Structure 1
């Protein structure tokens, strides 16, 4: 892996930790604070954290200027990630009976490498 990609991956991981914390805070706020069903809390947290992720990854990870076009494409490219995370969340909570408070962390761990590749391609596009 070239030096630039290693730096990007490390930065992506740091931004990912921040984004995961943001997602988890929004998720728990929806789940415990507002009393939303776990899937509604999940999708709400995904949307809010995706907006934050877009700007952090644009400015910090890939050092590119965010544009409206990239902002509009970014969620579409994350759709597979969102679906896989939701399916894993369902399996962990309803199938394996893991607490809905911690299940999203396990689901997110599985999707990080794919998200790094897809995000880089979208944000570096002209």
Structure 2
């Protein structure tokens, strides 16, 4: 139980850093792109950062190609929830385009924790012998 609480705290800290990175990217991209393409691009870039931050900091596990390829599946739920949220907030409730992604992200946090923990803490012993950690490949 203590380990899980510590992971939740680290997940939150990583999430704050990742959300900040996403938001800065979103604002920079939104200077020359409409809000939704800026949102999608910033989301994809921050997802890669999230994988490595959560692998090394939150769950203290080795990144592998298998985990890297599965990690976007966990974020698919996050993407759907936040994408629908951004659209609904901006188009239906006329929330400022600069604030809507932050508000929508709050709803997706618990789901993302559960799914990322399942994938990133999957036993390394269960992986195929030929699977090499991401950091070991060039």
Q: Deviations over 1:22-46 (max 9, x none)?
A: 11011111102xx111110111011
Displacement after TM superposition at 1:77 (Å): 2.0
Larger radius of gyration: 2
Displacement after TM superposition at 1:110 (Å): 0.7
What TM-score, normalized to structure 2?
0.87
In the alignment, what sits opposite 1:23?
22
Report the count of equivalent residues.
123
Gaps of 5+ in 2: 124-138
Structure 2 matches for 1:55-70, cutoff 5 A?
55-70=52-67
In the alignment, what sits opposite 2:48?
51
Secondary structure, aligned partner of 1:78: helix
Q: In structure 2, how many angstroms separate the alpha carbons of the residues matched to 1:74 and 1:124?
A: 11
Gaps of 5+ in 1: none
Q: Which has the higher helix share?
A: 1
Q: In structure 2, how many angstroms separate the alpha carbons of the residues matched to 1:66 and 1:56?
A: 10
Moved over 3 A (4+): none
What TM-score, normalized to structure 1?
0.95
